[in-house]
């Protein structure tokens, strides 16, 4: 049982928490976490300790199921990408980036509609993140967060593919913004290592040269 | 036709005709006339016996229709679908042959464009190794998301190439390492090792594609392509069809304003649908797993891939909330309404059919479900018609123009039959003797039977089983081998209504009093009646439909106390989604069937189903109308003009096959789920003139249809693609070696046409059974001669269903018909299940004189409406019936009940607050006044309000 230093739940940011106190609680080892969402808790904790240490964050502990691990990480990526989307909002106007492209070759359709349509880049970003959230939260595909259905694992690959395009668009078209964000969170690097490790995206599609930096 | 070997001269012949001359030559043109003038006059009009005996008459009586008067028994077994290679071959039309090459080129282009994959392996896919193969498929799937249509199309083509087995890998003759572990293809005699291997690889790659989630990616692309509007103005022909007629006039294309859709308009759609079809067809077949791999773990792995694929298939799509099946159905409506005439209807229908098979299961799954449901309802389980009749032998019915008679031909079994008949009488126990006073058509004792091996003793019905296998009264001439009593493979059935009628009749006779609905009170009735009743009750068969009907009545009657327990199984969910626009789907199915009927003109119909067969060049040609007059003997595929005609006919046949299967599968599964769902669908079919359409279909030269040769073997997949790969990208040319010309071999039949025909008669049976109004439709449409001609097809199952239809109408066709078609009556007697106390063959007058068939249909309609309103009005508000709208006979007060008044009041604060309310204008104007009066002036104790009456924990 976690020791209570103050009344109420310990690992929660209650109403009125200041930014300096955000998520300011002591760390626990994974074995001591006994909530049902312990994997998410562990991942978020590791990130908070050092966001730039990609390998430690992605280091899968032996008693965690691989499907759950992949799923929870993807959830976390979608959560954190909202930060990038927020920054992009300032720059990425539909008049400027009317299509979702990275390099010149490929223009992508936004799949988060009844019929896939061509959305502007910022719309693509928002729709894709929303769509990923809907999918990851849907009870049909992921009814439980403790064991993930085999059939739903393949969905993770397509989600990753679409999410990656956000990174690539930001890198090629909004570079300063991207670099600032990356310096803080190392999100793209982590994502690249994540998809490479679990073979979720083919190498050919990883066009952001993040690992060489 | 067997000759009757008995003398034709009656014993008074000498007196009348004089002695016959002993010299008789076959070619004697002089017919022998008797000297009696009376005999001469009478004989003038009759066919000469001598000619009949020599069999010449048939030449004269033969019309164009009976081109081949009889065919032998066909070794056809009814399955859910044809074999794997045939099904895949039928997916592609011959006009699409070029696209095999295009797909291969697209794959090559893909390899060149990506750095990872060119180099060591050349173009080979099979050598890439599993991980790289998965990567290739992954990348191609990602490209389906591209906004550029050409990108998507070339990615789809490359993907389809892989799914087709990556046939370019076969181009090196000497490097072939054939993997012939899959012997399920070995039964196909015309396939060689390479074809088998290609199919095995195609299946393997299909599973790989399923692992990378191809279904979702393809579905996304399909949804995107559906959105592309049909470009009426026309586009240039991108097809270079070298094998088709070259002497065409291309100059007129731009001038035409309203042009019909052709192959060039739906390339992307066709590619995507073909890829999906490959996936569904491969993974649907469980037995392919054993053919693809050897080891147990890989088999387990494939099995789990299969399970998750099938789950994905039926799951509703994420944003659309409809499963893929409904998306396909929804494509049919814009097709026939003219909005999107370019949809490739054959592929849509084929894919729909296979998805229905994959999600709901075929006839065996339906049978298992039915038995499980019956067991659950506590009903008996009888043998299934389809299961037993699949192996039934055909009966031989003589040509309609031949001499009237029973079964001709000496049968070896005749003495045995007599013996059997004798034995049956000696073996019967006490009960069977009493059966005879019921009606004469109780089977078991007399069966002059055509089929030999199909009759096996069935253990389920006890009273009918004659225990005549072992114990015989030994006679001196008893046969050495044990002889089974021949009887029908079905047990008799009787409905509760029939027993009721029987009882009422008896009571009326003896007491002049009726107790309707009561079949148990037997006081005062004499013993023969009692024993008949006992037999009838033994054969009482309650169908699931009757049980559900009764439930329905109760639910309608007791609207408050009885609540329905709806099981949300797959069929139910699909039905719910099909329901709002079901009439559209039915219209689409039937319109396409009409356009594909063999006797229809090619382009006269409202829907053009040839948009996935015709290229813009061939579109202009008049071959289509002239192709109708193809004489079968003249089919010579070596002629170019004939090839297009063959392609078109083949296309039509496949469309009919797919459409008829979709209809029968839906009917069957809906009926299993709830009889009213079945009735709703059936009624839609009736309203759209389904019955005359199917009769029209059967009203063609069935023998010619069954033996149609609209297949060009070298052009089929996979031979064609492999040939292309091995012969420097040239397509096979037809010569006398690889094409069969001339009359068909004995016992040849085209599987898909027999299959479609069986489906048609099954559908007709399902639509008309127990419905007087629809049976009269059959009579009115003069279906009897059509069905009679159909009986020439020597397939047991087909004949069975045809005979059932004839049995239904036999009563209404009149005594003269019955008299002249005694052989059909006998065939029905020998083949079709008997119903006890059924007078199908005897009654002269129609059962009910009231020709009020409209009310039958409309009362059924109102019952169905009530059913829909009760079950589905919450989901589809359009189905709710208003008070007094749907008047059902019976207690009138029920018509005034509006159940919506009895819904519980919504007192959840969230939902009430969340409702959008339309505030009146004067309120909005005077809002501040309202606020002051109602809110600020009132004293409200907010603490008490917010605590909601719960005890204060923190206190």
Q: If pLDDT is split at 50, 70 and 90, which confidence band does B284 have?
A: very high
Higher pLDDT, B263 or B408: B263
Domain-wise residue ranges, chain A: 1-34, 39-205
Q: What is the mean pLDDT of chain B?
A: 77
Q: Which two tokens stand for residue A30?
A: 């994974």
* ipTM for the predicted complex: 0.90
> Is A174 a known ligand-binding residue?
yes
Q: Which two tokens stand for residue A185?
A: 């969170």
Q: If pLDDT is split at 50, 70 and 90, which confidence band does A79 have?
A: very high
Supply the pLDDT for residue B685.
95
Query: In Å, how far is A79's CA from the nearest CA of chain B?
Result: 20
- The full DSSP string for B23-88 is ---TT--SPP--S-HHHHHHHHHSPPHHHHHHT-HHHHH--STTSS-----------SS--HHHHH
d(CA B790, CA B700): 9
Q: Which two tokens stand for residue B24?
A: 């008789």
Query: In Å, how far is B370's CA from the nearest CA of chain A?
Result: 28
Supply the pLDDT for residue B233.
59
Supply the pLDDT for residue B120.
61
Of B125, B194, B135, B111, residue with least CA distance to B162: B125
**Segment A113-136, tens digit of pLDDT:** 988 999 999 999 999 999 999 999
What percentage of chain B carries pLDDT values higher than 90?
Answer: 28
Looking at beta carbons, which residues of chain A come within 8 Å of B212? 154, 157
Supply the pLDDT for residue B33.
58
User: How far apart, in Å, are the Cα atoms of B399 and each of B451, B700, B830?
Assistant: 18, 16, 18
Decide if A116 and B145 are in contact by the 8 Å CB cutoff: yes
Looking at beta carbons, which residues of chain B come within 8 Å of A131? 318-319
Residues 6 or more apart whose Cβ sits within 8 Å of residue B937: none
Of B857, B361, B318, residue with least CA distance to A130: B318
**Segment B113-141, tens digit of pLDDT:** 877 666 666 778 888 888 889 989 999 99
Residue among B143, B316, B318 minimizing CB distance to A135 = B318
Looking at beta carbons, which residues of chain A come within 8 Å of B143? 106
**Segment B19-39, tens digit of pLDDT:** 655 444 444 445 555 667 777
For chain B, the straight-line distance linking the first and the last C-alpha, in angstroms and rounded, comes to: 104
Bridge partner list, A107: A101
**Inter-chain CB pairs, A–B, below 8 Å:** 82
Looking at beta carbons, which residues of chain B come within 8 Å of A151? 307-309, 311-312
Q: How many CA atoms lie within 13 A of B275 on its CB side?
A: 37
A110 → chain B, closest CA residue: B145
Supply the pLDDT for residue B839.
80
Decide if A106 and B146 are in contact by the 8 Å CB cutoff: yes
Is the model's pLDDT at B80 over the cut of 50?
yes
Supply the pLDDT for residue B407.
33
Q: With beta carbons less than 8 A apart as the criterion, state whether B212 and B134 touch.
A: yes
Q: Which two tokens stand for residue A15?
A: 């109403």
DSSP state of B933: I
Is the model's pLDDT at B375 over the cut of 50?
yes
**Segment B626-642, tens digit of pLDDT:** 444 454 444 566 677 78
Looking at beta carbons, which residues of chain B come within 8 Å of A157? 138, 212-213
Q: If pLDDT is split at 50, 70 and 90, which confidence band does B292 have?
A: confident
**Segment A36-48, tens digit of pLDDT:** 888 998 999 999 9
**Segment B90-113, tens digit of pLDDT:** 999 988 888 999 999 999 999 888
Q: Domain A39-205 falls in which CATH fold? A: Butyryl-CoA Dehydrogenase, subunit A; domain 3 (1.20.140)
User: How far apart, in Å, are the Cα atoms of B292 and each of A170, B135, B160, B608, B766?
Assistant: 45, 21, 19, 39, 39
Residue among A111, A134, A157 minimizing CB distance to B212 = A157
Looking at beta carbons, which residues of chain A come within 8 Å of B148? 107
Query: In Å, how far is B274's CA from the nearest CA of chain A?
Result: 20
Decide if A155 and B213 are in contact by the 8 Å CB cutoff: yes
Supply the pLDDT for residue A3.
45
Is B300 near chain A, with CB under 8 Å?
no
Bridge partner list, B146: A108
For the residues B306-330, what does the mean pLDDT come to?
91
For chain A, the straight-line distance linking the first and the last C-alpha, in angstroms and rounded, comes to: 43
Supply the pTM of this predicted model: 0.80
Q: Which of A98, A100, A108, A111 is best to mutate for the B interface (most B CBs within 10 A)?
A: A111
Decide if A111 and B145 are in contact by the 8 Å CB cutoff: yes
Looking at beta carbons, which residues of chain A come within 8 Å of B111? none
For the residues B850-873, what does the mean pLDDT come to?
82
**Segment B669-685, tens digit of pLDDT:** 999 999 999 999 999 99
Is the model's pLDDT at A4 over the cut of 70?
no
Coil, helix or strand at residue A117: strand
For the residues B47-59, what does the mean pLDDT come to?
53
Coil, helix or strand at residue B855: helix
Q: What is the 3-state secondary structure (H, E, C) of B815-828?
A: HHHHHHCHHHHHHH
Q: What's the CA dihedral at B203, B205, B210, B213 to 10 degrees?
A: -160
> Is A127 a known ligand-binding residue?
no
Higher pLDDT, B369 or B880: B369
> Is A92 a known ligand-binding residue?
yes
- The full DSSP string for B800-854 is HHHHHHHHHHHGGG-HHHHHHTHHHHHHHHHHSPPBTT--TTT--S-S-----HH
Q: What is the mean pLDDT of chain A?
A: 88
Supply the pLDDT for residue A19.
86
Is A207 near chain B, with CB under 8 Å?
no
Decide if B145 and A118 are in contact by the 8 Å CB cutoff: no
> Is A160 a known ligand-binding residue?
no
Phi and psi at residue B75, to the nearest 5°: -85, 75
For the residues B530-548, what does the mean pLDDT come to?
89
Is A112 near chain B, with CB under 8 Å?
yes
Is the model's pLDDT at B941 over the cut of 90?
no
Is the model's pLDDT at A63 over the cut of 70?
yes
**Segment A128-158, tens digit of pLDDT:** 999 999 999 998 889 888 888 877 888 898 8
d(CA B736, CA A86): 71
Is B128 near chain A, with CB under 8 Å?
no
Is the model's pLDDT at B884 over the cut of 50?
yes
């Amino acid at each position: 049982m976690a020791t209570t230093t103050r009344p109420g739940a310990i690992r929660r940011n209650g109403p009125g928490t200041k930014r300096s106190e955000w998520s300011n609680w002591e760390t626990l080892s994974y074995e001591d976490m006994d909530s049902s969402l312990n994997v998410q808790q562990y991942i978020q904790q590791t990130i908070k300790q050092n966001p730039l240490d990609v390998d430690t964050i992605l280091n899968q502990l032996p008693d965690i199921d691989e499907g759950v691990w992949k799923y929870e990480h993807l959830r976390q990526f979608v959560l954190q990408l909202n930060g990038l989307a927020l920054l992009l909002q300032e720059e990425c106007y539909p008049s400027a980036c009317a299509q979702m492209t990275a390099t010149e070759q490929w223009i992508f359709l936004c799949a988060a509609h009844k019929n896939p349509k061509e959305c502007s880049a910022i719309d693509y970003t928002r729709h894709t993140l929303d769509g990923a959230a809907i999918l990851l939260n849907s009870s049909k595909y992921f009814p439980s967060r403790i064991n993930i259905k085999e059939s739903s694992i393949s969905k993770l690959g397509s989600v990753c593919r679409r999410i990656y395009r956000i990174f690539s668009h930001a890198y090629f078209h909004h570079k300063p913004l991207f670099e600032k964000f990356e310096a803080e969170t190392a999100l793209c690097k982590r994502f690249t290592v994540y998809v490479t490790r679990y073979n979720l995206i083919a190498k050919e599609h990883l066009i952001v040269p993040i690992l060489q930096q | 036709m067997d000759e009757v070997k008995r003398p034709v001269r009656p014993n008074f012949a000498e007196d009348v005709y004089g002695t016959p001359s002993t010299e008789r030559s076959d070619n004697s043109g002089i017919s022998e006339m008797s000297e009696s003038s009376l005999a001469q006059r009478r004989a003038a009009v009759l066919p000469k016996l001598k000619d009949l005996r020599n069999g010449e008459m048939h030449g004269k009586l033969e019309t164009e229709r009976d081109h081949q008067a009889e065919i032998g028994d066909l070794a056809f077994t009814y399955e859910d679908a044809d074999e794997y290679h045939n099904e895949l071959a039928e997916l592609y039309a011959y006009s699409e042959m070029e696209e095999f090459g295009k797909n291969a080129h697209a794959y090559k282009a893909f390899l060149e464009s990506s750095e990872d994959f060119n180099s060591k392996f050349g173009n080979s896919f099979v050598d890439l190794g599993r991980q790289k193969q998965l990567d290739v498929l992954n990348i191609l799937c990602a490209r389906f998301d591209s906004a550029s249509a050409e990108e998507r199309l070339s990615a789809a083509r490359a993907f389809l190439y892989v799914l087709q087995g990556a046939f370019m890998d076969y181009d090196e003759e000497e490097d072939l390492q054939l993997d012939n572990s899959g012997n399920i293809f070995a039964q196909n005699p015309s396939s060689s090792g390479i074809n088998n291997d290609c199919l095995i690889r195609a299946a393997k790659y299909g599973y790989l594609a399923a692992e990378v989630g191809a279904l979702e990616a393809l579905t996304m692309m399909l949804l995107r392509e559906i959105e592309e509007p049909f470009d009426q103005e026309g586009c240039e022909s991108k097809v270079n069809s070298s094998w088709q007629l070259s002497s065409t006039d291309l100059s007129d294309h731009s001038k035409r304003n309203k042009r019909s859709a052709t192959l060039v308009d739906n390339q992307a759609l066709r590619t995507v649908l073909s890829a999906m079809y490959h996936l569904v067809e491969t993974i649907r077949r469980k037995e392919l797993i054993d053919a693809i791999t050897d080891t147990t773990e890989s088999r387990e792995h494939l099995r789990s891939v299969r399970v998750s694929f099938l789950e994905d298939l039926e799951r509703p799509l994420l944003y659309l909330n409809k499963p893929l099946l409904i998306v396909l159905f929804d494509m049919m409506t814009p097709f026939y309404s003219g909005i999107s005439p370019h949809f490739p209807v054959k592929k849509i229908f084929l894919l729909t059919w296979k998805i229905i098979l994959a999600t709901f299961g075929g006839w065996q799954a339906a049978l298992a479900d039915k038995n499980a449901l019956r067991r659950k309802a506590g009903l008996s389980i009888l043998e299934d018609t389809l299961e037993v009749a699949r192996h039934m032998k055909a009966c031989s019915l003589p040509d309609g123009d031949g001499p009237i008679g029973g079964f001709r031909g000496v049968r070896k079994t005749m003495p045995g039959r007599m013996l059997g008949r004798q034995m049956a009488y000696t073996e019967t126990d006490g009960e069977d003797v009493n059966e005879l006073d019921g009606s004469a058509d109780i089977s078991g004792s007399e069966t002059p039977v055509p089929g030999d091996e199909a009759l096996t003793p069935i253990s389920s019905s006890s009273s009918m089983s004659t225990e005549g296998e072992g114990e015989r009264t030994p006679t001196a001439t008893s046969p050495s081998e044990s002889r089974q009593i021949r009887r029908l493979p079905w047990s008799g059935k009787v409905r509760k209504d029939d027993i009721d009628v029987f009882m009422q009749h008896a009571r009326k006779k003896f007491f002049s009093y009726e107790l309707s609905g009561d079949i148990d009170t037997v006081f005062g009735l004499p013993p023969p009646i009692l024993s008949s009743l006992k037999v009838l009750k033994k054969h009482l068969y309650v169908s699931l439909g009757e049980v559900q009907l009764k439930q329905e009545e109760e639910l309608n009657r007791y609207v408050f106390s009885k609540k329905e327990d709806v099981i949300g199984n797959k069929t139910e969910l699909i039905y719910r989604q099909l329901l709002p626009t079901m009439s559209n789907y039915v219209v689409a199915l039937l319109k396409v069937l009409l356009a594909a009927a063999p006797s229809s003109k090619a382009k006269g119909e409202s829907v053009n189903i040839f948009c996935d067969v015709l290229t813009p060049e061939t579109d202009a040609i008049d071959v289509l109308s002239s192709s109708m007059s193809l004489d079968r003997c003249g089919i010579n595929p070596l002629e170019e003009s004939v090839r297009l005609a063959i392609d078109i006919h083949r296309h039509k046949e496949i469309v009919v096959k797919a459409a008829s299967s979709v209809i029968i599968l839906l009917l069957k599964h809906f009926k299993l789920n709830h009889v009213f769902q079945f009735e709703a669908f059936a009624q839609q079919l009736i309203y759209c003139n389904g019955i005359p359409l199917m009769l029209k279909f059967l009203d063609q030269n069935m023998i010619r249809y069954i033996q149609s040769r609209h297949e060009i073997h070298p052009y089929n997949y996979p031979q064609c693609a492999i040939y292309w790969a091995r012969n420097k990208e040239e397509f096979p040319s037809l010569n006398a070696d690889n094409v069969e010309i001339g009359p068909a071999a004995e016992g040849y039949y085209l599987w898909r046409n027999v299959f479609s025909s069986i489906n048609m008669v099954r559908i007709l049976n399902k639509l008309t059974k127990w419905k007087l109004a629809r049976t009269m439709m059959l009579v009115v449409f003069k279906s009897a001669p059509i069905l009679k001609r159909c009986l020439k097809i020597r397939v047991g199952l087909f004949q069975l269903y045809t005979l059932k239809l004839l049995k239904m109408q036999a009563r209404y066709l009149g005594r003269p018909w019955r008299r002249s078609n005694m052989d059909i009556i006998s065939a029905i007697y020998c083949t079709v299940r008997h119903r006890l106390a059924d007078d199908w063959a005897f009654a002269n007058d129609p059962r009910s004189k009231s020709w009020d068939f409209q009310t039958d249909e409309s009362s059924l309609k109102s019952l169905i409406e009530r059913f829909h309103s009760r079950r589905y009005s919450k989901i589809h508000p359009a189905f709710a019936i208003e008070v007094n709208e749907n008047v059902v006979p019976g207690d009138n007060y029920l018509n005034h009940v509006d159940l919506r008044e009895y819904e519980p009041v919504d007192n959840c604060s969230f939902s009430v607050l969340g409702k959008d309310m339309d505030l009146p204008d004067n309120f909005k104007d005077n809002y501040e006044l309202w606020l002051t009066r109602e809110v600020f002036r009132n004293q409200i104790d907010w603490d008490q309000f917010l605590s909601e009456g719960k005890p204060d924990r923190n206190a």
